[in-house]
Amino acid sequence: GQQVMQIPQYQHVQEGEDFTTYCNSSTTLSNIQWYKQRPGGHPVFLIQLVKSGEVKKQKRLTFQFGEAKKNSSLHITATQTTDVGTYFCAGPGGNTPLVFGKGTRLSVIA
Amino acid sequence: AAGVIQSPRHLIKEKRETATLKCYPIPRHDTVYWYQQGPGQDPQFLISFYEKMQSDKGSIPDRFSAQQFSDYHSELNMSSLELGDSALYFCASSLGALSTDTQYFGPGTRLTVL
């Protein structure tokens, strides 16, 4: 079935450094979504990408959807301690509305 | 703005007992999803309902059942609980059941099976 691979699994950065997480799908996706889950919290929707090659920005966060609609990335510029959490990509998967990647757990060292 | 409400927030049960988790979607949302998240894992889709009808089914064990009621709230019924059922259970709701319809997650119910 549909699989969404996400790397890296963990990322430790110094505050102020940049961070990127990558997501790859085994099949073409109609859309890809990104969620953030703080420790002890619930997934919070960040953004949805639909178009091939789409790039969206939210302040320090930049989201990209690949030309083939099989990969995506989330880049955070100048990380802050408030960015700590696990970032999940997710895409539709057959009879599953959303298939989540394994997530990238971001730690930010002040 | 109103969010998804889940109850209870924490639940402790013994093996072989039953549990019922409740989910109240955001007002006017017609679709409810249930997810299970183990420690350090990604959310795994269990089941979803659109307009009170089951719409998709994922990795939900046969021991579990769910339904969506006329007021759109949903309940996940879990029987013959096993230690491996210990997890966070999230409910999410959306307006519409398309994959492009944003899912809003509730705070979750933490189930511990002893």
Amino acid at A28: T
Give B36: exposed, middle or buried? Use CB within 10 Å, 0-12, 13-18, 19+. Answer: buried
pLDDT score of A1 more than 70: no
pLDDT score of A110 more than 70: yes
Q: Are strands A4-7 and A19-25 parallel, antiparallel or unpaired?
A: antiparallel
Q: What is the mean pLDDT of chain B?
A: 96
Rounded average pLDDT over B9-19 = 98
Rounded average pLDDT over A5-26 = 97
Say what percent of chain A tops pLDDT 90: 92
Residues 54-93 of B with CB under 8 A from A: 56-58, 90, 92
Neighbours of A43 (CB within 10 A): 30
Rounded average pLDDT over B51-79 = 96
Q: What is the sign, positive or negative, of the torsion defined by CA atoms of A46, A49, A53, A57?
A: negative
DSSP string covering B32-75, please? Answer: EEEEEE-TT---EEEEEEETTEEEEE-S--TTEEEEE-TTS-EE
Assigned token pair, A13: 């950065």
pLDDT score of A2 more than 70: no
Q: Which residue out of A35, A96, A104 would a mutagenesis test of the B interface target, given it has the greatest number of B Cβ atoms within 10 Å?
A: A96
